[in-house]
Amino acid sequence: MNDFGSEYVIDNNTLGQLSKSQRASIFFRENAHIPSEVLHEARGFSDIDELQRNEYRTTPAVLSQLVRVMATVKATDTGLVDLYANRGNADPLVVACALDGQDRDSQYLDAPDWFIVTGDKAVRAKAEEFELKVISNADFAALIEASSVG
């Protein structure tokens, strides 16, 4: 983490592990970005209307990053995406959104660090393949709790 802040792209498994009050925290509202497809997967959450305020939209730039991510996934690899099992549809977009945010902010001298927050091993591995920073769900929850103390 740097002195210029941090931005966090949130995976669906993270949303499920955070409490509603953690998701409503100022820290979460100001620093979390939820890819559109993750929001689609979370549509049953009672606080979905509030979560949509943190949407990281699927723009042409995000789709361009998604092409980069998917180009590294072998057709036989079902760890990150398994469409036949309806699993991992949002996972490549989590990585693509973090790459897009990092790329967009790289023009600034004081660019924030971009992190992916996940408990998914395949997402972690793909993020690290692209040299993105990853933190666990528990570590992110601890950041939320620490930000509310004071």
State residue 46's pLDDT score.
Answer: 95
Backbone angles phi, psi at 78, to 5 degrees: -110, 15
Note whether residue 100 is domain-resident: yes
Residue 1 counted as domain residue: no
Q: Is residue 87 part of a domain?
A: yes
**pLDDT of 3:** 45
pLDDT of residue 35: 97
Is 81 among the domain residues?
A: yes
Domain at 117, CATH number: 3.40.50.1010
| Residue segments in the chain with a per-residue pLDDT below the cut of 50 | 1-3
Instruction: Give the global pTM.
Output: 0.91
pLDDT at residue 109 in the model? 83
For position 148, what pLDDT does the model report?
Answer: 82
Give the chain as a 3 state SS string. Answer: CCCCCEEEEECHHHHHHCCHHHHCCHHHHHHEEEEHHHHHHCCCCCCHHHHHHHEECCCHHHHHHHHHHHCCCCCCCCCCCEHHHCECCCHHHHHHHHHHHHHHHCCCCCCCEEEEECCCHHHHHHHHHCCCEEECHHHHHHHHHHHHCC
Q: Is residue 52 included in any domain, yes or no?
A: yes
Whether residue 30 lies inside any domain: the answer is: yes
Domain span at 101: 6-148
Report pLDDT for 2.
Answer: 46
pLDDT at 77: 77
Q: Is residue 90 part of a domain?
A: yes
| Number of domains the chain is built from | 1
- Structural domain contains residue 72: yes
